[in-house]
Each structure stands twice: as structure tokens, then as C-alpha cells.
Amino acid sequence: MGIEIIGENGSSLSFVLSDASVSIANAIRRTVIGEVPTLAIDEVEFYDNTSSLYDEIIAHRLSLIPIVTDLSILNFKDECSCEEGCPSCEVELKLKKKGPGIVRSDDLKSLNKNFSPVPGVLLVKLGKSQKIDLKARAVLGRGYDNTRWQSAVVGYKYYPVIEISDDCDQCGDCVEACPRSVLAVKGEKLKVVNELACILCRACSDVCDQGAIKVDGDEHRFIYELETTGSLKPREVLSKALDILKDKADELSSKV
């Protein structure tokens, strides 16, 4: 089994998984979504809220703000040696603002500089004389506990295999039918110019009267698209997911 990074841009990562089964491919997807831990706000204490939104709505919005997470220096609360929470298992944040103005995640101040909210997330609009004053607590969690702790969204597809036979007459109908510009006629010959963009829709083969194009998916190669919430870098998410899978495999092997 091997992984090849084919694209990376900020919070997004594209990679190819080779020499693997569908079960392994799906296990990676499920682990990324459900088991890679991140920080999220779990409790909110309001001192004052005269905005147009109820406390519960603001608390829900706060819980969905991604928080930059350093997994190397934070423990799960139920695994920490403390009894009521400490800096090793929870992060305290404060928000105090008076209108008029827009309240964004930038206004949420973390007491630990290693863990800061991702900026730019809109919370509420404050009118004149309206204000919010609150304290929040963030803890580590996993996506299968609640969506607020989901580290990323990820999907995969079979690696496309496109075969063009000598029966092709270069009519160009398949080029026009393809929605992703995968094919092109160059030098009086039909060529695959953007293989990775193929979505296996088979529109090209459907319009080919000569039956010269065959499109299939390689059942042992998969193209992934992964996008994080901003809490972790995409390579961190992938690496952590693979570590979790390895640990589970080692545990199972030791018990067999």
C-alpha cells in the first residue's frame, strides 16, 4: 500500500492510495471523519447577552468554530489526571463585545496562545447598546462524538482507467460530451489529457458509435479529496488517521 500526494492548497489535500482494497480505502475515510481528535467548545457560561439571539443559539454557533489544535500538548479530559479540568485537558476562551458591530470568531480570545479560533467566522450582529459577555471551555473530542469535533471532510473515487482503441476515428464527439475536459484530439489522434479529472460518468463511451473508448475504475487505486475545518493541517489529519488505524491493527493482531 502506498500514498502519493498529488495536490495541496491551504486546508485541502489530494492524494492517491495505491495497492489497497475498498475496505482499506473506506476505513481511512471513516477514520478521518470520525476519529481524528480536535478541539471544540463544549460549555459556555453567559454573563450578559442582550443580542437578538438566545444563549442556546450563540452557544451552538460557538461550538462549531474550528480551533487550531496542537495534539502534542493536550489530553482528553477523561484521560487526564486532574478531576475538574486543567490547562492540560481544556482551553478557556472569553468573548466580550458591545454593539453596534459584527461579532466574529476573531473576538473570541483564548487564554492559551497555542489554541486560537479560526478567524472570520460570523457569530452575531449587535445593534446599538447590545452586548455579549461570556466564557467558554473547549475540550478534545472526536467526530463520532459530535460533528463539532469533525476534523475534515473527505471523499474518494476509483482511479480512472481510460482505454482508446484503434477503432477511434477522431470525430470529437467524445471530447464535447466529456464534462471535465478529460479528452482532446491532438495531431489527428484522440488523447487523454486530464486523467485525474475523470469522474467515471462514461459520457464519452456512451456517445462513441465505434465503441473505441472504454472507461473503468481501478479497484485497487483511489483518488482522495480531503479538506480540513482549519483545526489541523491536512497532512496532520491524514497522518493521525493512519496512526490510529495502525494502532487498531496492532491491537487486533496482539489479541488474535
Write the pLDDT tens digit of every residue in 42-74. 999 999 999 999 999 999 999 999 999 999 889
CATH number of the domain at 38-149, please? 2.170.120.12
SS3 label, residue 217: strand
Condensed to tens digits (0 to 9), the pLDDT of residues 169-196 reads 888 899 999 999 999 998 888 999 999 9
SS3 label, residue 32: helix
Closest CA to 68 of 35, 32, 112: 112
Closest CA to 68 of 40, 35, 34: 40
Kindly report the CATH class assigned to 2-35+153-225. alpha beta
User: 234-255 and 22-34 helices cross at what angle (nearest 10)?
Assistant: 120
In contact, 167 and 203? CB cutoff 8 Å = no
Structural domain spans, the chain: 2-35+153-225, 38-149
User: How sure is the predictor about 197, in pLDDT bands with cuts at 50, 70 and 90?
Assistant: very high
Please give the radius of gyration of the chain, using alpha carbons only, rounded to the nearest integer.
25
